[in-house]
Copies of this chain bind each other. A is one copy, B any other.
Amino acid sequence: MRPYNQYCPVAHALDLVGERWSLLLVRELQHGPLRYSDLHDRLVGCSTNVLASRLRDLETAGVITRRRLPPPAASNVYELTESGRALGPVIAALARWGLRTLGPPQGDAAPSPGWLEKALRTTVAPFAPSARIGFSIDGEEATLDAGAVVEGLLDEPDAVVRGTPADLYALLVDGDTGAAEIDGDRAVIEALIGALATTQPVA
C-alpha cells in the first residue's frame, strides 16, 4: 500500500496493517499458528496471490513470523510476533464497535468449530469481571474464568449460560436476559452485561 506520509501513530499503524485482509489475517492467528492453506480456507474470498502478498508484507512489518515445522511435519506455519499479539486491543476495539451494527446471527449460519471460544476471547474476555461463567451454546462449550477463556465447562462456575447463538447475542449485546437460560448467580451475568455496555475499554 502506498504510505500515508503522515507523522501520526494512527497513519503509521494503518501503513502496516491497514490493507485489505491484513487485520482479519492477524485475527485468525490470534488463537495460534496456522498454515498457509488453513489461512486460505478461513479467509474466504482472499485469493492466493493476495494472501501470499499479505503474509510477506506482515512478515516485513514484524507482525508475523514464518516458521518451518521440524520433520516429520515438514510444513510452514505462520504465527504472531510479540508486535502482532500487541494488536489484540485493536482487534478487540474493532470487534466491540462492529457489534453495534452487526445484528444477531442468522439461523442458517453454521459457525466453525471453536467459534464460541474465539468469540469470547476477542470480544468479551477483555472486559469480563473476575468470575467463572460457563457457556454452552449450540453444542459448543467454553468457560470465561477471570478474564481467561478455556474450552469446556469448568467445575463450580458462578453461572452458566445455555442457548443458541442468537440467544447469546441477545444476552450480551442487547442485554436481554430473557433469551438464554441462565443458571447460578444472575448477578455476575448482569455485571458482565454492564461491563460490555460501558463504552470505555482498551485494556
Contact = CB atoms under 8 A, between A and B. Distances in A.
Main secondary structure of the interface of A (DSSP, over half): helix
Copies in the complex: 2
Range class of the A interface residue count: 35 or more
A4 B168 CA distance: 23
Contacts of A45: 2, 4-5
A203 interface: yes
A201 interface: yes
Contacts of A102: 7, 9, 12
Given A5-B44, A7-B105, A93-B93, A98 B201 contact: no
Interface in A15-36: 16, 18, 20, 23-24, 27
B44 A12 contact: no
Interface in A134-151: none
Q: Top 8 A-B pairs ranked by shortest CB distance? A: A13-B98, A9-B98, A9-B95, A12-B98, A13-B94, A90-B93, A93-B93, A89-B93
Interface of A: 1-2, 4-14, 16, 18, 20, 23-24, 27, 44-45, 62, 82-83, 86-87, 89-102, 105-106, 109, 111, 122-123, 126, 199-203
